[in-house]
Structure formats: structure tokens, C-alpha cells
């Protein structure tokens, strides 16, 4: 690449928001592995059979579920660019609640992404196109349920879910979104696969099985915890986040990872049984 082209490429890279990679690789792997381990025999067979259809998608039908759940973060920059907005939902800072007519007007947000892929997973797949679509749907579902439980994926559009709030995390220059995606997970010592047993040891049931309620839970946590400093004043660019913020946030992150795994397992088991109402947008 010539020097001029390199400069242009660097300039363009600075014009676009940093990617929102909820939970990073560690969190997503922990969620999907713990979900798989919690499945019924029928649910595990459903996952294995659907993963095998990946041969028709990208020639990879041998992925384990934990690895397959990482694929949506790379595919949204490649063959599935239209899924970028399905990793999150933006709610105005001055709004009191989620309003899908306002916040998902283009039908392009995480709720629609989850419903679309639940629907594809519930359909039989006979032809090559349907098989590839079903394989992709399982990968997307595992990833999107993880995203849904990261509070800053259900947060404010004005600051790009915290990406525009530049903070210092202990000695690191970063942003608030990255703190919740990866920094708290890393500082808590969570690793894959070493922490799978720890996550699975936490008692948890799905609680509400309404996916929109899961979204509202994350929105509340974004407002009351992620965006709020330990002094209850809003976190702003230039703030230093350290031990106090970490100690308050760590149990929330661990609980959200565990909730995501249990709820994902519940959804897949119901799909395998043919007993899931995939129209989550109708309450």
C-alpha cells in the first residue's frame, strides 16, 4: 500500500465508531458454553445438527457452540453487513422507557435480530439456502442473547452506547463501552474455558421468559449502574474508574453473563421441542 493510500485508510478508520463487541470473546464463549452444558439431550442434538449445517454456510460444520457464537462480530463486517445494528438498540437519553416505534423504527435493532433468528431456527431446512440460513441463525442467536445482557447494548444513541465517553480504567485510556464489554470481565479474572465451571455454579433460573423484559432489565442497569458513577453522578469523559466502580459492577457483570447462559439454554430447549412462540415483539 502506498503512503498516500495508507494515510487515507487511517483517516477513514478514525471517522467510524469503535465496534461494540459485547463481552468480548471471553464473555461470549462463557455464555454459549454454559448454555450448551445446560441443554437437555434434545437441545444438544438440535445445536449439533444446526452447527453441522454450517458446511453450507461457510464450509465450517464442525464448530463448537462457544466458537460459533463469536462469528457474528466478524460477519457483520463481511457478508452480513446488514446485521450491524442488530447487536444493540439505542434509546434517547431523555426517554423513560424503550419504545420500539421510535427506537427500532427501521426494524433494525437487537429485538428484531433475535426474533428473526428464532423464526429461522424454528423452520425446517431442506435446501442449501435454508440450511445456510439456519446455521447462521444459531450463531446469531447465541451472540445476540449475549449482547442483550450487556447493559450498554441497550442504552443511549447519543454516546454510541458509551463508546464516546472516554474514561481512564485504572491506568488504561479507554471508553465506557469497552469497560463493560471486556475490562470488568478481565479485571474479575474471568477466562475461557477456565471460568466455565464458576459461571455454571451460580444458581440461576430464567426468571421472566419474556425477551423484551430481558431487554428492559439491561436498559435499567445501563441507566442505574453503567452510566452512573459511584457518587451517582453520570460518568463523563475524563473520569477515572477504579476499584469502587469495579467492585460495584463486578457482581452485575457476572450475574448478566450467567442470566444470558440460562436464558439462551431455555430458548434453545423450547426451539428443540417445537414449543417456542418466536414472535417476541408481540406482548
Q: What is the pLDDT along the chain (283 residues), one digit of tens a residue?
A: 444 433 433 333 333 344 446 799 999 999 999 999 999 999 999 999 999 999 999 999 999 999 999 999 999 888 899 999 999 999 999 999 999 999 999 999 999 999 999 999 999 999 999 999 999 999 999 999 999 999 999 999 999 999 999 999 999 999 999 999 999 999 999 999 999 999 999 999 999 999 999 999 999 999 999 999 999 899 999 999 999 999 999 999 999 999 999 999 999 999 999 999 999 988 6
The domains of the chain, with CATH numbers, are: 18-273 (1.10.575.10)
Q: Answer whether 36's CB lies under 8 Å from 47's CB.
A: yes
pTM summary value? 0.92
Rg (CA), the chain: 19
Task: Name every residue whose Cβ is closer than 8 Å to that of residue 9 and which is 6 or more positions away in sequence.
Answer: 1
Beta strand 172-175 with 240-241 is unpaired
Bond before 193 cis per omega within 30 degrees: yes
Amino acid at each position: 500500500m502506498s503512503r498516500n493510500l495508507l494515510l487515507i485508510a487511517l483517516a477513514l478508520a478514525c471517522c467510524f465508531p469503535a465496534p461494540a463487541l459485547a463481552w468480548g470473546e471471553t464473555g461470549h464463549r462463557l455464555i454459549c458454553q454454559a448454555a450448551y452444558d445446560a441443554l437437555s439431550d434434545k437441545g444438544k442434538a438440535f445445536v449439533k445438527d444446526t452447527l453441522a449445517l454450517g458446511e453450507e454456510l461457510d464450509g465450517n460444520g464442525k464448530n463448537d457452540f462457544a466458537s460459533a457464537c463469536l462469528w457474528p462480530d466478524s460477519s457483520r463486517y463481511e457478508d452480513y453487513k446488514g446485521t450491524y445494528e442488530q447487536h444493540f438498540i439505542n434509546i434517547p437519553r431523555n426517554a423513560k422507557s424503550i419504545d420500539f416505534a421510535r427506537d427500532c423504527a427501521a426494524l433494525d435493532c437487537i429485538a428484531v435480530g433475535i426474533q428473526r433468528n428464532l423464526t429461522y431456527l424454528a423452520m425446517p431446512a431442506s435446501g442449501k439456502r435454508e440450511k445456510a440460513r439456519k446455521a447462521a441463525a444459531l450463531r446469531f442467536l447465541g451472540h445476540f442473547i449475549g449482547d442483550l445482557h450487556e447493559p450498554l447494548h441497550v442504552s443511549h444513541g447519543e454516546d454510541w452506547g458509551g463508546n464516546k465517553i472516554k474514561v481512564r480504567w485504572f491506568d488504561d485510556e479507554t471508553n465506557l463501552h469497552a469497560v463493560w464489554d471486556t475490562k470488568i470481565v478481565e479485571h474479575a479474572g474471568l477466562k475461557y474455558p477456565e471460568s466455565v465451571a464458576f459461571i455454571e455454579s451460580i444458581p440461576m433460573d430464567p426468571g421472566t421468559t419474556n425477551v423484551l423484559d430481558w431487554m428492559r432489565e439491561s436498559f435499567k442497569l445501563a441507566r442505574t449502574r453503567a452510566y452512573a458513577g459511584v457518587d451517582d453522578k453520570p460518568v463523563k469523559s475524563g473520569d477515572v474508574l477504579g476499584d469502587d466502580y469495579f467492585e460495584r459492577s463486578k457482581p452485575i457483570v457476572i450475574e448478566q453473563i450467567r442470566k444470558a447462559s440460562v436464558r439462551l439454554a431455555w430458548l434453545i430447549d423450547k426451539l428443540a421441542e417445537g414449543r417456542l412462540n418466536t414472535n417476541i415483539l408481540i406482548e
